[in-house]
Amino acid sequence: MYKIRNDINENIQREEKVNRRFLLFTAFLVAVLFVIFFLFTEVYFNVLVEGDSMKPTLESGDVLTVNTLKDVEKGNIIIVDNHGKLIIKRAIAVGHDRVKIKDGYVFVNGKLLEEDYILKQGSTDNFAWGEEDYVLGANEVFYLGDNREDSSDSRIYGTCTLENVKGVVEDWSLNPSGIALFFHRFLNFTSGVNS
């Protein structure tokens, strides 16, 4: 009789352990799915490049992953909300920088900007900008396309505020491979952006 009682207690304890493990696993799985859902709806989104203003860096049809929480730094490729239309450009200068376009070249804070990413050196026309320094406000971003001869950017639209920057393109999404490629493909919901 005593042995039967022990066996029953052991079986009950085993079942409780299995149930606890199952509940822990289920809670872990729900937490992971919640984090993934949050990341892919609130932090990251993909865009489809449409147009040639970011050549040779980007081609029309490229799909890129954008991080909405990343701070904008000089040289970043950014997504800008330009009066309700998303465009993709490169941040050339940010808060309090001085920008000057002279003889087809861009100067930031008095120094010639080294731009190995642009299609043609010395091809940055002033358009609406004079040859005087323009000093950005604390919250402003000056942006240009890499294909300066075929880009509508800050030279036409003026600067944008940080609030108008919808995100920074992740460097790993420019040429994804390995785990980055898996992550990039997982985020394959895209919205078009004009370059």
Residue 26 lies in a domain: no
> What is the CATH number for 190?
2.10.109.10
**Per-residue confidence (pLDDT) for residue 79, from 0 to 100:** 96
Q: How many domains does the chain have?
A: 1
pLDDT tens-digit series, residues 12-38:
677 777 678 888 888 888 888 777 677
Q: What are phi and psi of 158, to 5 degrees?
A: 85, -175
The sign of the CA dihedral 118, 120, 121, 122 is negative
Task: Kindly state the tokens that stand for 178.
Answer: 């390995």
Residue 39 lies in a domain: no
CA–CA dist 78, 59 (Å, integer) = 15
Tell me the average pLDDT of the chain: 83
**Per-residue confidence (pLDDT) for residue 7, from 0 to 100:** 60
pLDDT tens-digit series, residues 130-151:
777 899 999 999 999 999 988 9
Domain with 96 in it: 45-194
Residue 13 lies in a domain: no
pLDDT above 90: percentage of residues in the chain: 46
Residue 167 lies in a domain: yes
In our burial notation (b when 16+ CB lie closer than 10 A, e otherwise), range 133-167 reads ebebeeebbbbbbbbbeebbbbbebebbeeebbbb
Residue 173 lies in a domain: yes
Higher pLDDT, 32 or 128: 32
CA–CA dist 80, 150 (Å, integer) = 17
Residue 36 lies in a domain: no
Q: Does residue 46 contact residue 190 with C-beta atoms inside 8 Å?
A: yes
Reported pTM: 0.76
Residue 12 lies in a domain: no
pLDDT > 90? residue 39: no
Residue 4 lies in a domain: no
